[in-house]
Amino acid sequence: MNLNDFLAESVFFGIVLSLAAYKIGFEIQRKYKKVFLNPLLISIVIIISFLLVTGVSYETFQKGASRLSYFLTPVTVCLAVPLYKQLQVLKENVAAILISIFLGCLSHAGILIGITAAFGMDKQLLFSLMPKSITTAIALGVSDELGGIAGITVIGVMVAGISGAVVGPVLLKLFRIRDPIAQGLALGSSAHAIGTSKAVELGEVQAAMSSLAIVVTGIMTVVIVPWVAGLL
């Protein structure tokens, strides 16, 4: 019996490897405190490297790792806690928040259309990437409605989340964006839940606004993207 067959019998292999890889990534970031050393990015590299070196199939890993997705719902609900604590801030800035998220969604679609025109991308690829800045579940629904490719959409969502969490704080410093509301909205609307995990590190207001941005961006994207796609 080879290693792949042996591990295929275990429902805990994928879970243990995922948690161990993330723990290593977390400790590396805590020690060196570099923005680009994102725990999720490091864990992805570790897991891929482990599977390639050992010859263990992705299916074997996913058999156990998929069980971690059961925790997504309660974790998402927990994001409402910081939002509730900052409810007064939300009420005082509701117009600015909605307008900024709307313009962000519209400009995101416009930039992708511009890239498509510049590089001669296929429309199917464009439609696959248009919902990349929202959570996977909603993104897949939008992509399917437009005739996009699910695999590319998932990759787009992952890249947007990880790059947003890694590069986002750097851009906030570079452009001197110090307002906590703006910081939270920027991370949540561009990098969904992964960006929100970074916003939590910045402060309660950032975490609350980022949590709100995930929801509002998802709703607006469902409306704006099909409308923009219909104009092409």
One-character DSSP codes across 61-72: HHHHHGGGGGGH
- For 35, which DSSP code? T
Q: What's the rounded Cα separation, in Å, for the pair 11 and 104? A: 42
Amino acid 64: pLDDT: 83
The structural domains of the chain, with segments of one domain joined by +, span 3-73, 79-231
Interacting residues of 35 by C-beta distance below 8 A, sequence separation 6+? 166, 167, 169, 170
Interacting residues of 1 by C-beta distance below 8 A, sequence separation 6+? none
CA distances, 145 to each of 60, 109, 138, 181 (Å): 31, 16, 11, 33
Q: Do residues 189 and 90 make contact, with C-beta atoms less than 8 angstroms apart?
A: no
Q: What angle do CA 43, 207, 201 make, to 5 degrees?
A: 50
Amino acid 2: pLDDT: 67
Amino acid 129: pLDDT: 92
Q: Do residues 131 and 221 make contact, with C-beta atoms less than 8 angstroms apart?
A: yes
Query: 153: closest CA among 221, 80, 92?
Result: 221
pLDDT digits (tens, 9 = 90+) for 1-45: 567 666 767 778 889 999 999 999 999 988 988 877 888 889 999
Q: What's the rounded Cα separation, in Å, for the pair 50 and 43? A: 10
Amino acid 24: pLDDT: 95
- Which residues of the chain are modeled with pLDDT < 70? 1-2, 4-6, 8, 76
**20: which 2 tokens?**
């161990």
Interacting residues of 190 by C-beta distance below 8 A, sequence separation 6+? 104, 108, 133, 160, 164, 168
**187: which 2 tokens?**
């991370």
Amino acid 1: pLDDT: 52
Task: Give the orientation angle of helix 204-231 with respect to helix 180-202, to 10 degrees.
Answer: 120
Half-sphere exposure of 109 (CA within 13 A, CB side): 22
Q: Do residues 214 and 191 make contact, with C-beta atoms less than 8 angstroms apart?
A: no
